[in-house]
Structure 1
């Protein structure tokens, strides 16, 4: 038994996304998707966790459990619900979220775009529109001019490769993508047409971030990220800026090396230059993918699966962190990693094993900045609804009562100790197939 102590000022925290926890984000494109006829969303975000009103309670609970950081997103559709309109109460709200973090000693890690966009952006082509980088840059400048001096870490955009991952994973018929989109529903033209109308446009212009997988769309994302970086350099020069990718630990069995390399190129390689225009690489990992010469290898019948259908694999995150650092040379921050389960003992196991693997990576020279668990609250997991339990804090959606889980206190104790105490080496599972 020995102590696994992390570097000084290591960031320990948990994360949320505005649309998934705030409730009543009525001006967002995803709100429109949820509420149209034929929607593929299992549940609606009318009443998620009501975090927009309960944020001070939630921040106090995180800090009280021992956590040291809170990653949250600022909602563009609230800041600019109609083109060119910036209601004062919206920016004041997020200013108070930052103030609450400061009062409770939580380091804020702020995401400027976490999947959702204002409905009005769809009139301009959404994430294939030539004007989108300008509009996103204008929003970023407005936010950072007002709040930037209070933000030490900025994530410009969340999982900019999400559309590429969805496109790849839809090819695996029985696989549930990370955002929970069913392949047959995602391709239904009637549903998309209704969503476009709800956003005040037509099917030719309607284009959410989840659809932006082709090179010309990635170029729009690149430009938008760069505009946000410029805004950060001007209004938050003290802040470290990153952009996040969703990255599975892509592995190969004998004969599958070329297939796995192609998948990694699609997930990571084609976005690498966007990563490089940042101060750190934000990594988000939930699973390992294994490939042979024919494609993805199905999981074994006896493998333990999470509520999302992913094999239990806490060691995957350290493998991804090592690979990203090797290919970029950038400091790395784990901005999402977690498990969907109602077995909180198993969540504790997952956190312990993931963190042990990350400590091993640090010992081998990886400059890891922090570990942020997904998620702070049991929330709306996009199209999968409310029955996927990632949270460290449970939320009773009838009365909005919060219950701090033992796993929250466990991660909080790790944060307070800045590492794992009395850890048994036998639990470290750093196993890669290739």
Structure 2
């Protein structure tokens, strides 16, 4: 049992960045990406829930000032957001000047409010026309990618403090292994284009999950499968950035010099560990019964609070500065989110004491949003009324805001927002 009421007081460095993250496709509404296309969108979301189109999402395209108010209410100093290629170039070669003006307004407002911007150039969604051409499934579309970046990067560069070229190019649920390997080159091309216009640090956000053999490291099959999955989901990207070698099992190595060194920092998203069961075709097994709980009615993969994933990740990646660009939990009981944040911040701080150079932490997400096919998983520090789009800061958001203001954690902050531990064990 995690007892956050026994955690010691911690303080972070004075320049530590406290943030929240969003993605345009998940909050803006009427986004015109392939996710909104009835012909191209997936039919089912996680857990077999019928696919729901984003429609107005959180209406953030119109209500961005309300989002900025949330950031300010929580004393945040960093906002990770995306600009939507599908809005900017809805038809190939035709750029929407209204959308350009809109994003410049949002970015300038963030700077006026003293908030650092971490800008993602591709967060899963892209134009329908690019999708129909095969998107990242082929390197033949590199010219389209270059033209988009050459157009938009110089226009927004003055507002950006951290760049994210691509979000989670390593996700197996979204991309095949060949697409993942191609996307390393799309990432590298983006890196070099941005460098022409900006001196700010550049990366691509990596979805990191520890691959743990279900029966322990002495079980050879589980261990072998865990190492295999780790390479194809984690190490292939890290290895490419460190060496320029694009590699995967059963494929010839490809050396691409322009890939080497194309992350100035590691941008890391982390939520869970993956138990790997080598005795099953569906090898990503459920977490242990003893650590499983039910934070949301329909399972959405965050059914365990395991703060050591943060330490393991940061120790592995401490060869560069690190920015935590996503971390959070889907739960209908906001108390769990307080437990989750407290545990993760305690682990993050301990990793920093052990040598990890962590620049900041950005929580997923700023508000409850569309989660790639459903509104059921609620990750937000604020709730959103689905009819009026009114934002309401949750108790967890107030708790997180005080951590930011205090630049650390102590028991007085916790006890102000949580009276007792919720039951985090569920054996049903």
Structure 2 equivalent of residue 13 of structure 1: 19
- Kept after mapping to 2: 8 A contact 1:132/1:220: no
Structure 2 equivalent of residue 70 of structure 1: 79
- Kept after mapping to 2: 8 A contact 1:380/1:386: yes
1:316 Cα deviation from its structure 2 partner = 4.3
Structure 1 equivalent of residue 155 of structure 2: 146
Q: Secondary structure at the match of 1:416?
A: helix
1:320 Cα deviation from its structure 2 partner = 4.2
Structure 1 equivalent of residue 394 of structure 2: 405
Query: Which sections of structure 2, spanning at least 5 residues, go unmatched?
Result: 1-6, 243-261, 415-420, 422-428
Superposed, which structure 2 residues align to 1:222-301 within 5 Å?
A: 222-237=184-199, 239-252=200-213, 253=216, 254-255=218-219, 256-276=222-242, 277-291=262-276, 293-294=278-279, 295-301=283-289
- Kept after mapping to 1: 8 A contact 2:210/2:313: no
Structure 1 equivalent of residue 357 of structure 2: 367
Q: Which moved more, 1:30-39 or 1:415-424?
A: 30-39
Q: TM-score, normalised by structure 1?
A: 0.81
1:306 Cα deviation from its structure 2 partner = 3.4
1:35 Cα deviation from its structure 2 partner = 7.5
- Structure with higher helix content: 1
CA distance in 2, matches of 1:421, 1:39: 42
What number of residue pairs does the alignment pair up?
A: 373
C-alpha distance after superposition, 1:329-379 (max 9, x if no partner): 121111111000111111111000000000000000011111111011101
Structure 2 equivalent of residue 321 of structure 1: 313
1:38–1:422: structure 2 CA closer, same or farther, 3 Å change rule?
A: closer
1:312–1:36: structure 2 CA closer, same or farther, 3 Å change rule?
A: closer
Cα RMSD after superposing both structures:
2.2
CA distance in 1, matches of 2:74, 2:105: 21
1:314 Cα deviation from its structure 2 partner = 4.1
Q: Which moved more, 1:359-368 or 1:80-89?
A: 80-89
CA distance in 2, matches of 1:380, 1:400: 13
1:231–1:35: structure 2 CA closer, same or farther, 3 Å change rule?
A: closer
Superposed, which structure 2 residues align to 1:20-419 within 5 Å?
A: 20-26=26-32, 28-33=33-38, 42-162=51-171, 164=172, 166=173, 210=174, 212-215=175-178, 217-237=179-199, 239-252=200-213, 253=216, 254-255=218-219, 256-276=222-242, 277-291=262-276, 293-294=278-279, 295-301=283-289, 303-307=292-296, 308-326=300-318, 329-383=319-373, 385-419=374-408
Q: Secondary structure at the match of 1:53?
A: coil
Q: TM-score, normalised by structure 2?
A: 0.82
Q: Secondary structure at the match of 1:290?
A: strand
Query: Which sections of structure 1, spanning at least 5 residues, go unmatched?
Result: 167-209, 428-434
